[in-house]
């Protein structure tokens, strides 16, 4: 109840301040409501005094609670009204400059409505003020608000203990005797326990254990939550193995297929965190998919339900115990008494209270961390004593789960008013929701939850507020992405309990229970249209309307109804919906600050959106059909965040004028310089808050470049200067001066210059001003002959592309350069001699370059360099630091560290470095090269690709090694048969392609079966003279066999050639027109996938004998097609450069 009193007091104070600002000549002259405003101010002072009286004795009666809720509702309504007046006043001031008559008429009509609404509010507050005397507060002792707030920084992933539990779980997971479910291959291992006991923390410890990483080929973490959504679980599995994190919509069938492709035959660990299921049918569908994984796979489950083991077919759950008193104290001690903190200095007098507090948390780590976070930095002994007494009041609770919320509530009670609002707002999102910090801050800003000042940006204050909640353990880092955050389920429960009724989640069958006092609503129904319409009809004072679910939402009437009914709406999210256009009436939402239209097919934005002068955030990410912005976008003077994909800025053709009016804007990816007013470069002058990337195009139109004021844009991280291709508007000297005047702030980290036609680069690129610069890309700078980039101590990446006149690169120090790419620089003759930190080097089409620099390279790519012949190799000093801190200095050859080597069309390069120990080696078109690393230097060699060689010389130099994993042989001339193979016991994949003279796969000295005892994949493509597969058969270990474009191939070999391949599960044959039949003994009994295309004779045989031969193959496709040429891209089999499995990193 004390919290309700403080909330009411705070909101009344805020409204009082707003009313005071209205007692100015500007507003009174506009509205003519001086008497009503004075009455409102008087009533608010009176009510605030009454609230202060209640604050002194917060244990109050139910009638007082109702009175306080009435005050809160009326204060919010008064705030909404005052905000709308402010907006209307600002709009009228703008319109007066355009239309003299319309504002006058609108002014009179609006004043009539204003006066009536204000009188209604005043009458309502007057009645509430009089009702106060009818309420009688109860007697009791108040718990005063904690005067301190700030705490020291502490990571919220702090873990104490659980060593035994971690060992137990790791043993269970890697044991071959684990209990399996019906799927035979997988075992389900549940961790169960009450909320807050640390189930997820234990799962994270196990998941990160090195033994687990070595044992399982694939690890996947999926947060489940209350709703066991099969589609979402499968989607998370797919996304976990997909680097581009494509979050499009997929059908259940597609998801199941993709998950099977990922897991098939592989030993995996899947963590299903926080699972709630009571029905086997829910689990069965997922189990059927997971059972396709390799033997020894495990599903680790965390749950509060002890019955989950029965439902999921596990023998017995691992019941995670609570902490004992010593463990609780150890965790509390680490949280509170950090070395160097004020609490550590006062430990002697605080420790006794601390041990008692830790004991009263009843062994729940979550409660210990929250109470510890509350007391960290507080040395007030009385406050510690007060906490002990408050916990004593809860000590008689029979259930630990009933105790933890009051314990967590102590942390909440001591938050400031603003932080409470920020925390409560998070209750609008579902459990296990992944929060993006910056997105959440934008929502808080839209709701005015962040307490602003005149010094810091609101975003910076919001970031500190978020960090404060994070340090108090209200948030925790997501286990999948450390830049994202989640709320523990119990913290989410707390947020719901303290935010009702102002914040409310609408779920299926709960629509009638939406409180009329709700101001912030989120809708979770599957069909959102009808619930949304009902909410719009009932809650006219709504400030927030969210639809935070991932499935596609269908809207028909909703956008129009919102625009006409919710005049006080501040936040509207219509993302991932079928909306194609906004109604013109969107202009009615004059209080709107946050609008999200991401992931929609919206075609254009109406010009009327530019009247939303309070709009702060406009999100348009993932809108593929949006090609332009409204022409009056510059009128959105409060716009701070304009979020669009980079692709949008590449396709927009007409840029809105007067963007310089958006002086609060934080992100403007691209600005196109024009010569007409509103498009000139000086529009950038006052955009001082720009962050991230700023790309300035058509710089040939710039007249006064200094006016862009780039030196003051301290938050821009990446600057791109782009001239139009072929622009030649002015003299080269003028262009030199122009770029000189576009000097960026010293904080800039990335620099891109494209199509610059000056003779030299500006002085600020070489005089040490840009000491924080990390990356430079210079492209199509056609006139620059000498490159000088001195005094750039942090430069780590440099790209030089299409520098047609570049001849010389000055000999300078580059102490931090790690990646260097040089492409299409035909006149460049020499590079600096030494790069001490260079890891990655790519040189392509540099016709005059004869040597590469000395460096400890890990990756080198050399392509189309006709005179390159020197790869220097010298001993380079290096240091190794051991875990104990000991440092050892030594020297190694510079080439020793190189892992990946690709050399294409470098005809003058005659040798590789002698101390080269490659991991991947690709060579093509190097006629002078006659040697490969020998057996001693092939100890870590995993992949070799040899193609475009004029004979089989290099093929015969392949070293004997057990580490070689894949081998590609392509376009080798004059090779009739494969050479004598070295011993390659570890080879898994062999690709033979475009060998036009190859007639047989065997030789007199050894065979494929003898040489490749572990071969799993064989791909033969475009070998037109090959007539038969080896007479002795293929390696029996084969699992994948693909044959394509072998025009003369007639036979698979002996009659049991395929029958003996007992591991074969994929067979693809394409465009082999003379291949007549499968071997006499038939196909492999393990075959799962068969595809035949462009093989008319073979297809005919299958159609005749198919019932007998093919009946046991579950997936088969027979399609006699015409024969394409060798460049056909229709091949369905495994590509020659792709492996259907992954090699574990060593």
Greatest C-alpha distance within the chain: 110
d(CA 544, CA 519): 7
How do residues 332-374 score in pLDDT, each as one tens digit? 888 888 776 777 777 777 888 888 888 877 777 878 887 887 7
**Nearest CA among 969, 971, 996, 999 for reference residue 981:** 969
d(CA 1137, CA 1140): 10
Checking if the pLDDT of 823 tops 70, the result is yes
d(CA 196, CA 408): 11
Count CA atoms closer than 13 A to 15's CA, side-chain side. Answer: 30
How would residue 461 be classed by pLDDT, with cut points 50, 70 and 90?
Answer: very high
- Range from 38-47, 247-256, 777-786 that averages highest in pLDDT: 777-786
pLDDT of residue 29: 59
pLDDT of residue 407: 65
How do residues 177-223 score in pLDDT, each as one tens digit? 555 544 467 888 888 876 777 888 889 889 988 898 888 889 999 88
d(CA 456, CA 1039): 63
**Nearest CA among 508, 506, 505 for reference residue 497:** 505
Say how many residues make up the chain.
Answer: 1146
Report the range of poorest mean pLDDT among 268-272, 319-323, 825-829: 319-323
- Range from 291-300, 714-723, 882-891 that averages highest in pLDDT: 714-723
Q: What is the mean pLDDT of residues 632-660?
A: 94
Q: What is the mean pLDDT of residues 1119-1132?
A: 45
Give the angle 1073-1074-1079 at the CA atoms, nearest 5°: 115
How would residue 68 be classed by pLDDT, with cut points 50, 70 and 90?
Answer: confident
Top-confidence residue, 856 or 1044 = 1044
pLDDT of residue 401: 45
Q: What's the predicted TM-score (pTM) here?
A: 0.77
pLDDT of residue 424: 95
Considering the chain, what is the average pLDDT of its residues? 83
Q: What is the mean pLDDT of residues 388-401?
A: 57
Checking if the pLDDT of 277 tops 90, the result is no
d(CA 746, CA 737): 19
**Nearest CA among 50, 41, 42 for reference residue 9:** 50
d(CA 978, CA 664): 69
Scan for tokens 């003779």, then name that residue. 759
Helix (H, G, I), strand (E, B), or coil: what is residue 517?
coil
d(CA 707, CA 709): 5
**Nearest CA among 400, 408, 318 for reference residue 363:** 400
Report the range of poorest mean pLDDT among 150-154, 242-246, 676-680: 150-154
Helix (H, G, I), strand (E, B), or coil: what is residue 711?
helix
The partner residues of 787 in beta bridges, in order of sequence, read 809
Contact (Cβ atoms closer than 8 angstroms) between residue 1102 and residue 1110: yes
d(CA 191, CA 272): 10
Top-confidence residue, 112 or 856 = 856
Q: How far is CA 182 from CA 229, 280, 377, 689, 1114, in A?
A: 21, 12, 53, 59, 21
How would residue 382 be classed by pLDDT, with cut points 50, 70 and 90?
Answer: confident
Percent of the chain with pLDDT over 90: 39
**Structure tokens, 1103:** 């159609």
Report the range of poorest mean pLDDT among 47-56, 57-66, 475-484, 865-874: 57-66
Top-confidence residue, 979 or 787 = 787
Could you count the other beta carbons within 10 Å of the beta carbon of residue 914? 12
How do residues 843-852 score in pLDDT, each as one tens digit? 999 999 999 9
How do residues 97-135 score in pLDDT, each as one tens digit? 545 444 444 555 455 566 778 888 888 888 888 887 776
pLDDT of residue 643: 96
pLDDT of residue 229: 84
Task: Quote the distance between the C-alpha of residue 40 and its chain's center.
Answer: 49
**Structure tokens, 534:** 């009902």
d(CA 971, CA 980): 18
Q: What is the mean pLDDT of residues 559-571?
A: 94
Report the range of poorest mean pLDDT among 100-104, 548-552, 751-755, 1129-1133: 1129-1133
pLDDT of residue 17: 85
Could you count the other beta carbons within 10 Å of the beta carbon of residue 351? 16
d(CA 916, CA 918): 6
Residue 176 backbone phi and psi in degrees, to 5: -80, -5
- Give the containing element (helix H, strand E) for 191: strand 186-192
Checking if the pLDDT of 1143 tops 80, the result is no
């Amino acid at each position: 109840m004390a919290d309700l009193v403080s909330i009411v007091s705070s909101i009344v104070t805020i409204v009082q301040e707003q009313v005071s600002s209205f007692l100015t000549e500007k507003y009174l002259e506009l509205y003519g409501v001086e008497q009503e405003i004075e009455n409102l101010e008087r009533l608010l002072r009176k009510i605030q005094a009454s609230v202060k009286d209640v604050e002194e004795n917060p244990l109050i009666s139910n009638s007082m609670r109702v009175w306080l809720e009435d005050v809160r509702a009326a204060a919010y309504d008064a705030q909404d009204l005052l905000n709308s007046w402010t907006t209307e006043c600002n709009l009228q001031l703008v319109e007066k400059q355009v239309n003299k008559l319309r504002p006058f008429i609108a002014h009179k009509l609006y004043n009539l409505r204003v006066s009536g609404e204000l009188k209604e509010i005043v009458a309502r507050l007057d009645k509430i003020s009089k009702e106060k005397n009818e309420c009688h507060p109860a007697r009791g002792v108040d718990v005063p608000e904690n005067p301190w707030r700030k705490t020291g920084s502490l990571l919220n992933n702090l873990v104490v203990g659980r060593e035994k539990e971690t060992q137990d779980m790791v043993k269970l997971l890697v044991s071959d005797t684990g209990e399996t479910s019906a799927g035979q291959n997988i075992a389900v291992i549940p961790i169960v326990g009450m909320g807050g006991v640390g189930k997820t923390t234990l799962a994270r410890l196990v998941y990160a254990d090195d033994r687990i990483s070595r044992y399982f080929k694939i690890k996947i973490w999926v947060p489940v939550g209350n709703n066991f959504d099969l589609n979402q679980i499968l989607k998370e599995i797919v996304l976990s193995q997909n680097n581009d994190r494509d979050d499009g919509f997929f059908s259940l069938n597609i998801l199941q297929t993709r998950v099977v492709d990922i897991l098939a035959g592989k030993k995996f660990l899947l963590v299903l965190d926080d699972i709630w299921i009571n029905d086997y049918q829910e689990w069965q569908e997922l189990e059927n998919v997971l059972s396709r994984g390799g033997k020894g796979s495990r599903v680790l489950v965390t749950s509060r339900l002890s019955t989950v083991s029965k439902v999921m077919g596990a023998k017995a759950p691992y019941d995670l115990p609570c902490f004992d008193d010593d463990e609780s104290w150890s965790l509390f001690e680490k949280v509170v008494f950090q070395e160097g903190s004020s609490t550590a200095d006062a430990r002697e007098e605080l420790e006794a209270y601390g041990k008692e507090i830790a004991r009263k948390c009843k062994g729940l780590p979550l409660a210990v961390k929250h109470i510890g976070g509350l007391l960290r930095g507080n040395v007030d002994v009385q406050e510690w004593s007060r906490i002990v007494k408050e916990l004593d009041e809860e000590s008689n609770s029979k259930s630990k789960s009933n105790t933890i919320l009051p314990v967590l509530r102590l942390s909440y009670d001591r938050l400031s008013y603003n932080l409470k609002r920020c925390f409560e707002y998070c209750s609008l999102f579902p459990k296990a929701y992944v929060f993006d910090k910056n997105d959440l801050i934008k929502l808080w800003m839209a709701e005015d939850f962040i307490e602003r000042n005149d010094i810091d940006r609101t975003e910076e204050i919001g970031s500190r507020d978020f960090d404060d909640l994070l340090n108090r353990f209200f948030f925790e880092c997501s286990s999948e992405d450390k830049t994202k955050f989640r709320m523990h389920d119990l913290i989410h429960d707390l947020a719901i309990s303290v935010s009702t009724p102002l914040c409310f989640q609408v779920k299926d069958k709960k629509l009638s229970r939406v409180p009329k006092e709700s101001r912030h609503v989120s809708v979770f129904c599957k069909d959102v249209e009808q619930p949304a319409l009902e909410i719009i009809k009932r809650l006219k004072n709504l400030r927030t309307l969210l639809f935070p679910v991932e499935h596609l939402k269908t809207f028909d009437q909703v956008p129009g109804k919102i625009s006409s009914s919710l005049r006080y709406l501040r936040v509207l999210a219509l993302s991932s919906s079928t909306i194609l256009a906004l109604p013109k009436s969107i202009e009615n939402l004059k209080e709107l600050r946050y609008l999200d239209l991401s992931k929609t097919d919206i075609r254009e934005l109406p010009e009327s959106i530019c009247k939303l002068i309070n709009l702060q955030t406009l999100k348009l990410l993932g809108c593929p059909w949006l090609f332009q912005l409204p022409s009056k976008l510059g009128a959105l003077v409060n716009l701070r965040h304009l979020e669009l994909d980079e692709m949008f800025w590449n396709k927009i053709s007409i840029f809105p004028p007067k963007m310089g009016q958006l002086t609060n804007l934080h992100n403007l990816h691209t600005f196109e310089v024009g010569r007409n007013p509103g498009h000139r470069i000086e529009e950038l002058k006052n955009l001082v808050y720009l962050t991230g990337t700023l790309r300035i195009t058509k710089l040939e139109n710039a007249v006064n470049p200094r006016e862009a004021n780039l030196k003051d844009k301290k938050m821009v991280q990446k600057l791109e200067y782009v001239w139009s291709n072929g622009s030649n508007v002015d003299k080269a000297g003028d262009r030199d001066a122009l770029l000189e005047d576009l000097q960026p702030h010293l904080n800039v980290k990335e620099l891109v210059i494209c199509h610059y036609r000056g003779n030299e680069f500006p002085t600020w690129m070489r005089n040490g001003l840009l000491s924080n610069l990390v990356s430079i890309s210079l492209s199509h700078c056609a006139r620059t002959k000498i490159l000088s980039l001195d005094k750039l101590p942090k430069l780590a990446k440099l790209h030089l592309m299409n520098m047609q006149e570049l001849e010389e690169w000055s000999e300078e120090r580059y102490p931090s350069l790690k990646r260097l790419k040089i492409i299409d620089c035909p006149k460049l003759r020499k590079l600096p001699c030494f790069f001490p930190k260079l890891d990655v080097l790519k040189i392509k089409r540099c016709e005059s370059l004869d040597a590469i620099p000395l460096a400890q390279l890990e990756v080198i790519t050399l392509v189309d360099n006709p005179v390159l012949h020197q790869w220097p190799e010298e001993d380079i000093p290096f240091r190794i630091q051991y875990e104990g801190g000991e440092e050892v200095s030594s020297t190694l050859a510079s080439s020793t560290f190189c892992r990946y080597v690709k050399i294409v069309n470098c005809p003058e390069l005659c040798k590789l470095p002698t101390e080269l120990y490659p991991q991947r080696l690709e060579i093509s078109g190097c006629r002078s090269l006659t040697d490969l690393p020998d057996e001693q230097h092939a100890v870590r060699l995993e992949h070799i690709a040899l193609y475009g060689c004029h004979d089989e010389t290099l093929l015969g130099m392949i070293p004997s090694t057990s580490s070689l994993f894949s081998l590609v042989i392509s376009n080798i001339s004059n090779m009739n048969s494969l050479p004598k193979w070295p011993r390659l016991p570890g080879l898994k994949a062999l690709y033979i392609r475009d060998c036009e003279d190859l007639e047989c796969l065997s030789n007199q000295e050894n065979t494929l079966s003898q040489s490749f005892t572990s071969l799993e994949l064989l791909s033969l493509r475009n070998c037109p003279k090959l007539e038969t597969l080896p007479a002795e058969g293929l390696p029996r270990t084969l699992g994948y066999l693909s044959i394509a474009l072998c025009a003369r191939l007639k036979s698979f070999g002996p009659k049991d050639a395929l029958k003996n391949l007992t591991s074969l599960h994929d067979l693809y044959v394409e465009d082999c027109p003379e291949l007549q039949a499968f071997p006499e003994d038939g196909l492999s009994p393990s075959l799962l996938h068969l595809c035949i295309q462009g093989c008319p004779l073979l297809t005919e045989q299958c159609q005749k004998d198919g019932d007998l031969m093919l009946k046991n193959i579950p997936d088969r496709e027979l399609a006699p097609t015409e024969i394409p040429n060798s460049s056909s891209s229709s091949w369905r089999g495994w590509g020659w450069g792709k492996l259907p499995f992954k090699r574990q990193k060593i």
